[in-house]
Structure 1
Amino acid sequence: MNKKNTTLTVSYTEDKKIMVSICCITYNQEQYIAQTIESFLMQKVDFKYEILINDDASTDRTADIIREYEKKYPDIIKPIYQSINQYSRGITNPSGAFNYPRASGKYIAMCEGDDYWTDIYKLKKQVDFLENHKNCSLCLHAAKTLVVDGSFTGSIIRPYNKSRFISTGEVIDKSSAYPTASLMFRSCFARHMPDYYTNCPVGDIPLQLHLASMGRVYYMDEVMSVYRIGGKASWSVLMKKGDYKKKQEIYYKQMKIMYIEFDRASNRRYTNYIKNAIRRIRFLTYVNTKNYSRIFSSKYRRFYKELDLRTRFFTRFEYHFPFLYSVARYIMRCI
């Protein structure tokens, strides 16, 4: 059933005293977690919110730091301290497994343990918008990037060049990622997540597809958070350990299955968009594994042009001058 032009009337059982449930997942992020939590606590709002944190059995001081905040704000901060690492047991979407089911708020706001918010009115801006647009299921915004591993990447994640509603097709077939710490959505849609979300190796993309199929999506062209790149316990860094090429191949196949399952669940209304999204994932795995014969082939020219100018420059730089590129990266890590 197409709900794009209708008011969302799905009932929910949230605690009416809490407007927003902030969902945070963390693992071995002792360097960052305090800044993340402080960015939650600094929010200027006229409603109540809760902070749900799932610590996946960190082996550093992450859990100790969370406990310190929990003692100070016991009515706001509600952690789960896993005794066994759940990711190693195959739970790749811990937000959906441990945080969404206990969310009491009308809305869920996302932020992982190595990212943080920069605008003290972020929550209020998004809540006000969603309260005034009942047919909107997801609201997101731009983010600044903070590189900690010497990578050459853009300084901002800005999916679109102005604030506007985004069609479901655009959400599926998008050339830019959506910052996870920018996402706010109606918690009623997280009560029962589809199988293509549960079985996916990542949580953000299938979540976005699910929400886009349930209502309208709105983008705020404001930088209100920071996305940290290259943290030692980040998903992308953990992926690079071991046989990275093999992991990327597995990732592509899993993502392809996810998109195909979403295609079926949405009654094949967005098949052409989904085909493009699958091709883009394939191309990006070639970029990640430095498969230059594929990267520069005419078959993927469209996706190569989607890369920002900085990324295209450094891709060419590494391809033609690999030694100079490695020296440049070393210098960037030392700065």
Structure 2
Amino acid sequence: MRKEEPLVSIVMLAYNHAPYIEEAMESCLSQQTSFPFELIVCDDASTDGTTEIVRKWAEKHESLVFLPQSVNGRGLNSLMDALRHVRSKYIAFCEGDDFWSVPHKLEKQVRFLEDNPDFSVCCHKVEMKFEHRPGDEKKQYIYKDCSADDERIRQGIFYADEAIANYYFQTSSFVFRWRFRDGLPPWFRKWMMFDHALMMLHAVEGKIKYFDEAMSVWRRNESGYSWLQNVDKGVFFQKEGGGWICFYEEMDKFFSGRFHLQIRERILLALRGMIANCLETGNVRLMRRIAEDHQDWFLELVKDNASLFEAARIAFPEQVVRVPPWAGKPGETEGSSMPTLGGFMELGLLDIPEAQDSVWAHWTKGQEVACFAHPLAALLAWLYHRRVRRLWLPVVGSRLIKEELRNLWVPYQFYPVGGDFSPPIDFIAQTQPGDAVLTCSWLGRPPAAEMRRALAERDGVLWIDDRSLALWPGTPHEADVTLYSPARVLGVPDGGILVGEGVTVLQPAHENENAFAAKRRELLLERFEHPAVDGALFAREQAIELENPLPGGAMSRLSASMLARIPLHDVIVRCRENWSLLHGLLGDWSLWPESRTVDFTPSVFPMMVPETIPPIFLLTALNRRGIVCSGFDMALTAKYEGSLGEEVELLKRLLCLPCDHRYGEEDMRRMAGEVLRILRGESDLGRPGTRLMS
């Protein structure tokens, strides 16, 4: 029997922690305190010598209590044995592969709880140490940002509802005022996330004190429970999601719904991960079962409120902020001083001189210009202004444009684009005076010279050269109007730019007073009061849409200023170099295998994925390696899919690898190397179709 009862019990769970366990025990036993404490080490039947190490230490240290397990129980039996042993006033934790980094940690936390009986939890900032990484990397932490206007937050004082909504704690930082000497709730032993459960069970008894000082180290290694969540959330939640959900459901019942909304977000986190993994692996049956089993948490909310969500979206279009927050707040006057936005001063972009060979200068070439917030709004404004009789569209295109054309009552006709985005020109002979033809610079490449010449010579037919996918096609302005989209190809905040004769009159105001939203809101209220949609309401709705056929708004001044300061020549050179490098490494899979060099400015490299590999598999594997690419994001028109032949299959297999001016040679080689590694079946996901579900 010990001479003095410990004030604090430190619980240390260990399993195969032989390389780390001595450092962990030493960091706890060497704590400098004014009170007695004990270290309870529970080994879960380790097989690497951890058991022998702890047993030797227990023989030397009277304050070390060793509780070995004869059979591995995934931590559950170890934890419950340790908690049953605790009789101290306070309890602290340190995993067998973590360690405390300062000798005064325990004294500081326990002394605070002793002096402040209205607090039940004390924690602190935690440093993360990643195994197998260079030691000179910048340190990372688990921490809570306490820089707030609220004095309570600045003092590091929090409540239970805040803690469960944003779980910013780590086990090695905890000290609790122990309240379960007579046993834990019966549901506790079922699940593994003991740290969150214990924290909430104690946080409801008082306040939480957070010290913004790193006093322990959380070692991130492949043996840790949370490592899989860090590496692959989809697989983690597919494996552990059921237990995660049951744990939070039990917690919700225990607290009688007090934290229902916060707990719901934690459960939805797991459900999103589980469903995402089902989509990734093509397991539709399991996805349907998950949705049915847990519909009380997310499906009913959507089903019950779907009509309301859609009504709100239609009724309040002006609530969608289309300009970037740093471009200025709504209602600011021109002469106002530079405001503070999000903690930073507004960009002083005008202090940078404009470039003589800027993107803006090359795009506009001294012609008339009109700048819209979105390229589709620019296109529709021009079509409406010119009273186009019929619009000829490429068969591969955004379905959104068809909806807007219907709203304008503009008929449209499709023409084929070919298997490699080289449309035949036969359809031009079918066009009539008053028609307009929309051509696209697919993947940055301009229409063929033959097509451009045929359109320029066609009397009475208008030509719209859509360059929204092109940085610089390398051809002059030959069409009646040219359309650019800087947001898509240069990453500026927004923009749809019309260049051509007579477009200046279409320029929208920067502060556009639009009564459309008010009229739709009024109509919506009538619908709520009179749910049955009669002829009068329907006719009124149609009248409102015809009166306001186009989305309003100009391109932000910030986008225009940036375009005038980006030198086009440098952009062109870098993009073409990146293309050539990728073509040399991946030319066998290029959509245009003969084009080792290009005379346009590409922003993506079109790769045809081999038939043995689903494009979504390659895309996912690349994204997991930090390479953000995409499939071809323009949907085939369903009406024409049956008549397109192999064109459909080609487009389905197309994957766009980034090669724009933001990247250099090292990036291109890394990306090509990852692609080749995945094609050889060496990705983190293995080979297509071999990933196992647990």
Task: Please say which of residues 48-57 and 133-142 is displaced more in the overlay.
Answer: 133-142
The Cα shift of 1:271 comes to 1.3
TM-score, length-scaled by structure 2 = 0.37
Question: What is the CA-CA distance between 1:37 and the residue it aligns to?
Answer: 0.6
Q: 1:177 to 1:197 in 2, by over 3 A?
A: farther
Whether the 8 Å contact between 1:43 and 1:123 is mirrored in structure 2 is yes
Task: Tell me if structure 1 keeps the 8 A contact 2:156–2:210.
Answer: yes
1:317 aligned partner: 626
Match of 1:77 among 56, 64, 69: 64
Distance 1:134 1:326 in 2: 61
Structure 1 position 138 matched with structure 2 position 121: yes
Equivalent of residue 64 in structure 1, options 42, 52, 55 = 52
- The code of the aligned residue for 2:115 comes to N
Q: Distance in 1 between matches of 2:54 and 2:93?
A: 17
Instruction: Tell me how large the CA RMSD over aligned residues is.
Output: 3.5
Closer, same or farther: CA 190–169 of 1 in aligned 2, 3 Å: farther
Cα 1:139–1:50 shift into 2, 3 Å: same
Q: Is the 8 A contact 1:23 1:99 kept in 2?
A: yes
1:107 and 2:90 are equivalent in the alignment: yes
Task: Give the whole-Å Cα distance in 2 for the aligned partners of 1:166 and 1:146.
Answer: 26
Label 1:42 to 1:325 Cα distance change in 2 as closer, same or farther (>3 A): farther
- Does the Cα contact within 8 Å between 2:142 and 2:169 map onto a contact in 1? yes
Query: Is residue 55–residue 63 contact of structure 1 (8 Å, CA) maintained in 2?
Result: yes
Cα offset, 1:138, TM superposition: 1.2
The structure-2 alpha-carbon separation of the partners of 1:322 and 1:105, relative to structure 1 and needing over 3 Å to count, comes to farther
Aligned to 2:99: 116
Check 1:145–1:190 CA distance in 2 against 1; reply closer, same or farther (3 A cut). Answer: farther
| AA aligned opposite 2:268 | R
Aligned partners of 1:173 and 1:273 also within 8 Å? yes
Farther-moved stretch of structure 1 (211-220 vs 132-141): 211-220
Q: Give the whole-Å Cα distance in 1 for the aligned partners of 2:277 and 2:76.
A: 21
SS class of match (2:215): strand
Amino acid aligned to 1:94: S
Corresponding residue for 2:13?
Answer: 25
Distance 1:29 1:136 in 2: 33
Residue aligning to 1:36: 24
Q: Which digits, 9 at most, give the CA deviation of each residue in 1:106-134, with x for residues without a partner?
A: 11110000000001100000101110121
CA–CA separation in structure 2 for the residues paired with 1:273 and 1:22: 30
1:198-236 alpha-carbon deviations (Å, 9 max, x no partner): 2223211211221222222221111000000014x3223
Distance 1:252 1:153, change over 3 A: farther
CA contact (8 A) 2:126 2:216 kept: yes
Amino acid in the other structure paired with 1:317: G
Question: What is aligned with 1:276?
Answer: 265
Equivalent residues in 2 for 1:155-166 (5 A)?
155-161=140-146, 162-166=154-158
- The 3 A distance-change label for structure 1 pair 153 and 200 is farther
Structure 1 residue ranges without an equivalent (≥5): 1-14, 293-298, 300-313, 328-335
Aligned pairs for 1:1-335 within 5 A: 17-73=5-61, 75-87=62-74, 92=76, 94-95=78-79, 97-149=80-132, 155-161=140-146, 162-174=154-166, 176-189=167-180, 191-231=182-222, 233-237=223-227, 248-283=237-272, 317-320=626-629, 321=671
Cα 1:238–1:209 shift into 2, 3 Å: same
CA distance, structure 2, for counterparts of residue 98 and residue 159 of structure 1: 32
| C-alpha separation in 2, matches of 1:31 and 1:120 | 21
Cα distance change, pair 190–285 in 1 and its aligned pair in 2 (3 A):
farther
Q: Indicate the SS of the match to 2:70.
A: coil
Separation of aligned partners in 2, 1:153 and 1:280: 29
SS of 1:78's equivalent in the other structure is: strand
AA of the residue aligned to 2:108: K
Bigger Rg over Cα? 2
Distance 1:322 1:158 in 2: 37
Moved more, 123-132 or 265-274: 265-274
Match of 1:332 in 2: none
Partner SS state of residue 109, structure 1? strand
Q: Secondary structure at the match of 1:63?
A: helix
Structure 2 vs 1, CA of residues 221 and 247 (structure 1 numbering), >3 Å: closer, same or farther? closer
CA deviations over 1:63-111 (Å, ceiling 9, x no partner): 12112211211x2111012221122xxx63632x111111132111100
Go from structure 1 to structure 2 and tell me whether the alpha carbon gap of 1:221 and 1:240 turns closer, same or farther (over 3 Å shift).
Answer: closer
Residues 142-194 of structure 1, C-alpha deviations (whole Å, 9 max, x = no match): 110000155999711113335422111111111x4411100110222364222
Q: 1:110, 1:280 → 2: CA distance?
A: 26
Q: Is the 8 A contact 2:121 2:202 kept in 1?
A: yes
After superposition, the Cα gap between the structure-2 partners of 1:31 and 1:263, relative to the gap in structure 1 and judged at 3 Å, is: same
* Structure 1 residue 244: Cα displacement: 8.9
Contact 1:16 1:106 in 2 (8 A): no
In the alignment, the residues of structure 2 paired with residue 51 and residue 253 of structure 1 have an alpha-carbon distance, to the nearest angstrom, of 33
Alpha-carbon distance between aligned partners in 1 of 2:181 and 2:218, rounded to the nearest angstrom: 23
1: distance between equivalents of 2:181 and 2:123?
A: 16
Q: Which has the higher contact order (CA 8 A, sep 6+)?
A: 1
Q: Could you tell me whether the CA contact under 8 Å between 1:230 and 1:236 is conserved in 2?
A: no
Q: Percent identity?
A: 28
Q: Which amino acid aligns with 2:165?
A: D
Alpha carbons of structure 1 residues 164 and 54: separation in structure 2 relative to 1, 3 Å: same
Residue identity opposite 1:269 in structure 2: R
Is the alpha carbon distance of 1:56 and 1:143 closer, same or farther for their aligned partners in structure 2, counting shifts above 3 Å? same
1:196 is displaced (CA, Å) by 3.7
**In 2 relative to 1, CA 126–240 (structure 1 residues): closer, same or farther, beyond 3 Å?**
closer
**Between 26-35 and 146-155, the greater mean CA deviation after superposition:** 146-155
CA distance in 1, matches of 2:16, 2:266: 32
Offset at residue 270 of structure 1 (A): 1.6
The whole-number CA distance in structure 2 between the counterparts of 1:323 and 1:195 is: 53
Structure 1 range deviating more: 148-157 or 161-170: 148-157
- Displacement after TM superposition at 1:272 (Å): 1.4
Which ranges in structure 2 are unaligned for 5 or more consecutive residues? 147-153, 282-301, 303-622, 630-670, 678-694
Structure 1 contact 122–224 (Cα < 8 Å) conserved: yes
The answer to which of 251-260 and 144-153 deviates more is 144-153
Instruction: Tell me: CA distance 1:317–1:246, structure 2 relative to 1, closer, same or farther (3 Å).
Output: closer
For residues 271 and 119 of structure 1, do their structure 2 counterparts lie closer, same or farther at Cα, with a shift above 3 Å needed? same
Contact 1:119–1:225 (Cα < 8 Å) also in 2: yes
